[in-house]
Amino acid sequence: MSTVLSGEFWAFVGVVAGIYTIFGLGVQVQFGYTGLLNFGHVAFMAIGAYTMAILTVKTGIGMWAAAVIAIGVSILAGLLLGLPTLRLRADYFAITTIAFSEIVRYVALNEDRLTGGSQGTINLAGAGAAAQYDESWQRFQTRAQAWLHLGSKDVTMLVLVWSAALVLLVLLHLAVRSPWGRVLRSIREDEDAAASLGKNVFSYKLQSLAVGAVLGAVAGLFYAWQFSFFSPDDFAPLVTFFAYTIVILGGTARTWAVPVGAILFGVIYAGTRFFDFPPFSYFDSADRAYLRLAVIGVILIALMAFRPQGLFGKRDEMVLE
């Protein structure tokens, strides 16, 4: 059967889209609703994934307990990042966040005994321990597959990641429609006006950064579970800009536009490499891997030129200073 017609293929694309939906929600909170230019969002994804894997392998803590701790560590990292930097001007804050994400990545790259170094989690405390981590997740997938009566592990992961994504979408939708969300919008539009009304702008920005850190960490957990083994190269700065692509594609400050943007992105990013029909069949797999990045770039340019508010956004939401 053609790869592109395979149910397993589309399940994989759906899983990638679900992971990036959760990841993109973090950018939507920080950028779309609060106006924070966090260009280092991938750092929280890396912290979540690595913390869970390290705790599971090196301490023997159960995977779910390790996942909760990983989310807590990501929140702490967000607070440590925000406390000294959120008072910076937007462009300086953006540069600082990129530096933060690169610090996290280079620590993971160089701390071989802790993170596995450039070989990633396949070298985490030896191949035997890494295999034990992989097997613990595989056992859970097998139990979930039997409980849900699903045909494959990819489909099982598809159900799990989108169940989590839908819960987070509903929670975020309710949050941004609350007084808390309205304060975030006011900060995005004019933080001086928000401050003049007695709102603690710094505190709300810090909360937004922490919520984004949680969403980034959850995306990192699902990334770790889906791919089992990962390395620092999987958390390059480019991944953050994928999330911005999703948010801009769907529409800034539109919670339910994020999954639409993520699905379109998932088809382009994860799908085009395996498309085996013209014109994709004219290129080999390696060339298609680079072609997809060019396609994403062209889409972004077209959006900025013809519909900068995205598919579902409104121009009056684009009143950032």
Contacts of residue 171, Cβ cutoff 8 Å, sequence gap at least 6? none
As a whole number, the mean pLDDT across the chain is 85
pLDDT of residue 293: 77
pLDDT of residue 186: 93
* Range with the largest mean pLDDT of 3-17, 120-134, 202-216, 236-250: 202-216
CB-neighbour burial class of residue 184 (10 A; exposed 0-12, middle 13-18, buried 19+): buried
Q: In the predicted model, what is the mean pLDDT of residues 53-82?
A: 91
Q: Is residue 119 part of a domain?
A: yes
Cα dihedral 160, 166, 171, 176 in deg (nearest 10): 140
How far is the C-alpha of 315 from the C-alpha of 252, rounded, in Å?
A: 10
CB-neighbour burial class of residue 163 (10 A; exposed 0-12, middle 13-18, buried 19+): exposed
CA-based torsion, 274, 278, 283, 287: positive or negative: negative
Domain extent at residue 47: 17-234
Q: Is residue 186 part of a domain?
A: yes
Q: In the predicted model, what is the mean pLDDT of residues 28-55?
A: 94
Residue 279: is the preceding peptide bond cis (ω within 30°)?
A: yes
> What confidence category does residue 122 fall into, taking pLDDT thresholds of 50, 70 and 90?
confident
Q: Is residue 229 part of a domain?
A: yes
Using left for φ > 0, alpha for ψ between -120 and 50, and beta otherwise, residue 277 falls in beta
- Express as a percent the part of the chain with pLDDT over 90: 50
Cα dihedral 34, 35, 38, 39 in deg (nearest 10): 150
Q: Is residue 66 part of a domain?
A: yes
Quickly list H helices, the chain.
Answer: 7-27, 42-58, 63-85, 90-110, 112-115, 127-148, 153-176, 179-189, 191-196, 201-227, 237-250, 257-266, 285-306
Q: Is residue 41 part of a domain?
A: yes
Closest CA to 256 of 42, 35, 28: 28
> What confidence category does residue 124 fall into, taking pLDDT thresholds of 50, 70 and 90?
confident
Q: Is residue 107 part of a domain?
A: yes
pLDDT of residue 305: 80
pLDDT of residue 321: 44
- The number of folded domains in the chain is 1
Q: Is residue 254 part of a domain?
A: no
Q: Pick the residue with more confidence: 149 or 239?
A: 239
> What confidence category does residue 257 fall into, taking pLDDT thresholds of 50, 70 and 90?
very high
How far is the C-alpha of 319 from the C-alpha of 188, rounded, in Å?
A: 8
Q: Is residue 181 part of a domain?
A: yes
Distance (Å) of CA 244 to CA 76, 179, 186, 239: 23, 25, 21, 9
Q: In the predicted model, what is the mean pLDDT of residues 271-289?
A: 68
pLDDT of residue 119: 85
Q: Phi, psi (5° rounding) for residue 37?
A: -90, 80
pLDDT of residue 81: 95
